[in-house]
């Protein structure tokens, strides 16, 4: 292989992600097939969407028969943090040429974290190193999903309650956010908006209503949120 050294460096860097992605991908594939969906559905999702939290959340959309606009807006807000990632990689991806579209498509939390924190070997061709890193990470995710989807179809066991993994995932991510921001106000805004939405509208409109209310609340409290941010910096 022409870029063997780049591949090997990328593989070494990707090992921690391999562990996480194959296990979570497996859980995702298993969860989808356990709810009666065909094994191709989660696998296609891991290929074309490739975003952990959003893919797990999709089950909620399917069960609630959410409308397309609601799914669109909710998906944007679930992943809005990703729009922030690109800002710090504009320069790094500049000379990636034909590999650039894939690098942008595959920019998950973990890939971003690796790309921005790991030191790079200046002797390697950067764009190929980054490409292999991104592609290896996605291959773990797809491989895990495929294994979980096929395994879920073959073995019959009681999977009631398995979808709680979604709630647990969001709880863990929220705790990580708290560790970063050290501010409880955003959590109160989210909780308040959710409770009002739960009371006011039906379940299939809850998410989009809560997002709208939370945006209003956050701009109403903008000064206070930004002051805390400045304190923290």
Partner 1 sequence: MTEPWIWEAVAVMALANLLTRVAPFLFFSRRRPPQAVVFVEENFPPIILTILIFYTLASVDFTAAPYGLKELGGIAVTMLLHRLFGNYLISIFGGTAVYMVMVHLG
Segment 89-118, which members bind partner 1 (CB under 8 A)? Answer: 90, 93, 104-105, 107
Q: Could you give the CA distance from residue 169 to residue 191 in angstroms, rounded to a whole number?
A: 17
Q: Which of residues 16-45 bind partner 1 (CB under 8 A)?
A: 19-20, 23-24, 27, 36-38, 41, 44-45
- Asked if residues 187 and 81 have their Cβ atoms less than 8 Å apart, the reply is no
Distance in angstroms (rounded) separating the CA atoms of residues 174 and 78? 12
Size of the site for partner 1 (CB under 8 A): 90
Shorter beta-carbon distance to partner 1: residue 67 or 121? 67
Site string for partner 1, 124-163 (x = CB under 8 A): ----------------------------------x-xxxx
Whichever of 121 and 172 has its CB closer to partner 1, that residue is 172
CB 11 within 8 A of CB 135: no
Q: Decide if residue 164 touches partner 1 (CB under 8 A).
A: yes
Encoded one letter per residue, x for contact with partner 1 by CB under 8 A and - for no contact, window 184-213 reads --xx-xxx-xxx--x----x--xx--xx--
To partner 1, the closest distance from the beta carbon of 123 in angstroms equals 27
Q: Which one among 175, 200, 216, 220 touches partner 1, defined by CB under 8 A?
A: 175
Tell which residue, 158, 153, 96, has the closest CA to residue 130: 96
Q: Which residue reads 């969906």 in tokens?
A: 37
- Minimum gap (Å) between residue 209 Cβ and partner 1: 10
Cβ closer to partner 1: 121 or 191?
191
Q: Return d(Cα 188, Cα 200) in angstroms, integer.
A: 18
- 214-233 positions binding partner 1, by CB under 8 A: 214-215, 218, 222, 225-226, 229
CA angle 208, 212, 218 (to 5 degrees): 140
Question: Which residues lie closer than 8 Å to 65 by C-beta, 6 or more apart?
Answer: 204
**CB-nearer residue toward partner 1: 125 or 224:** 224
Map the footprint of partner 1 across residues 61-90, applying CB under 8 A: 61-62, 65-66, 68, 71-73, 75-87, 90
**DSSP H helical segments within the chain, as ranges?**
4-34, 40-48, 52-64, 68-78, 82-85, 100-105, 109-117, 126-154, 164-181, 185-200, 203-220, 222-232
């Amino acid at each position: 292989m022409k870029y063997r050294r780049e591949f090997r460096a990328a593989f070494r860097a990707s090992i921690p992600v391999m562990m996480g992605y194959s296990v979570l991908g497996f859980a995702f594939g298993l969860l989808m097939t356990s709810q009666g969906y065909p094994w191709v559905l989660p696998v296609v999702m891991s290929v074309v969407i490739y975003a952990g939290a959003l893919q797990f959340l999709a089950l909620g959309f399917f069960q609630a028969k959410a409308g397309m606009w609601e799914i669109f807006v909710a998906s944007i807000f679930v992943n809005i943090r990703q729009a922030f990632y690109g800002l710090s990689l504009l320069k790094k991806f500049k000379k990636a040429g034909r590999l650039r579209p894939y690098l942008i498509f595959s920019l998950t939390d973990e890939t971003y974290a690796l790309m921005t924190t790991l030191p790079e070997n200046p002797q390697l061709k950067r764009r190929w190193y980054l490409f292999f890193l991104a592609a290896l990470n996605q291959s773990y995710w797809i491989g895990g999903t495929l294994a979980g989807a096929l395994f879920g179809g073959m073995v019959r066991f009681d999977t009631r309650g398995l979808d709680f993994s979604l709630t647990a995932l969001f709880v863990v991510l929220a705790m990580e956010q708290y560790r970063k921001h050290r501010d409880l106000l955003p959590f109160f805004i989210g909780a308040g908006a959710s409770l009002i939405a739960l009371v006011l509208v039906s379940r299939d409109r809850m998410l989009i209503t809560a997002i709208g209310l939370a945006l209003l609340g956050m701009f109403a409290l903008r000064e206070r949120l930004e002051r805390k941010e400045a304190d923290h910096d």
